[in-house]
Amino acid sequence: MLKKVYALICTRNNDLGGVTKKLVSYLSRCSIDIKLLVDQKSIFSAYKKGFDHINPNDEDIIIMCHDDIEILNSEKEFISLLLKELKDENTGFIGPAGTKYLGKDSIWWDHERWKAGYHSGAVFHTKEDGKPYPTEYGPLSKVTALDGLFLAVTAKNLRKITLDKPNYFSGAWDFYDIYYTTTMHKIGLNNRTFPVKIQHQSNGDLVGRDSWHSNRVAFSLENDKDFPIYV
């Protein structure tokens, strides 16, 4: 049976901005089935409802991504990468950037560990002239945790974890990526960075909001006995 690829994308309303329209157009050209999750109350419940609604076959591929990204690979290369990187049934999530070593602070992009060579992958950002430039974290590899701007996984393996928000999180939108990907790692599947070229229109300003910090602290306390979480 041929694999289908689905994209679950949270967005504020149906009046899509230019970047989101460009992303939707790109994914459509890739023959990806797009599910826009509009005006949701929580990213956890949005992904859960979206996944349940499409009810994919086990071999299908699920993308969960931000609405403010651009994929710079050609359409053909992008689909080829997804199929190749998710061919191994022991692969959990794949994404552009993450870390092999998650410390007690639960911050995957911690600068000291970045300097020590624990991080992996790259994400493109935008210069003032509009041109993309890469933020390079390190060589592609297996990782413990991945950044949530873009995640892909087979439906079969996504069903092995829960998408529901854990009770210890108070914030509805933060730390889902660390929770999902470390959970996948803990059940013995291999998260990996792969050479997808993602240009992110945000520089991570939301990490300053209270819910991000509260969820980070809650995650750290809940996983206290597990740290460091590493590959």
In this predicted model, what pLDDT tens digit does every residue of 177-200 receive, in sequence order? 999 999 999 999 999 999 999 999
Question: Nearest-CA neighbor of 189 among 213, 215, 159, 220?
Answer: 159
The ranges assigned to domains in the chain are 5-230
Name every residue whose Cβ is closer than 8 Å to that of residue 58 and which is 6 or more positions away in sequence: 154, 155, 156, 159
State pTM to two decimals.
0.96
**Helix, strand, or coil (residue 146):** strand
pLDDT of 197-214, one tens digit each? 999 987 555 555 789 999
Amino acid identity of 154? T
Report d(CA 126, CA 203) in Å as an integer. 9
pLDDT of 9-62, one tens digit each? 999 988 999 999 999 999 999 999 999 999 999 999 999 999 999 999 999 999
Amino acid identity of 218? A
The residues with which 154 forms a beta bridge, in sequence order, are 61
Is the separation of the CB atoms in 224 and 123 below 8 Å?
Answer: no
Is the separation of the CB atoms in 194 and 140 below 8 Å?
Answer: yes
Report d(CA 102, CA 191) in Å as an integer. 13
Q: Indicate the burial class of 49 (C-beta count within 10 angstroms; 0-12, 13-18, 19 or more).
A: middle
**Helix, strand, or coil (residue 53):** helix
Report d(CA 74, CA 32) in Å as an integer. 14
Question: What is the percent of the chain where pLDDT is above 70?
Answer: 97
Q: What are phi and psi of 62, to 5 degrees?
A: -115, 125
Count the neighbouring beta carbons within 10 Å of the beta carbon of residue 209: 12
Q: Which fold has domain 5-230?
A: Spore Coat Polysaccharide Biosynthesis Protein SpsA; Chain A (3.90.550)
The residues with which 35 forms a beta bridge, in sequence order, are 8
Question: Nearest-CA neighbor of 73 among 216, 198, 167?
Answer: 198
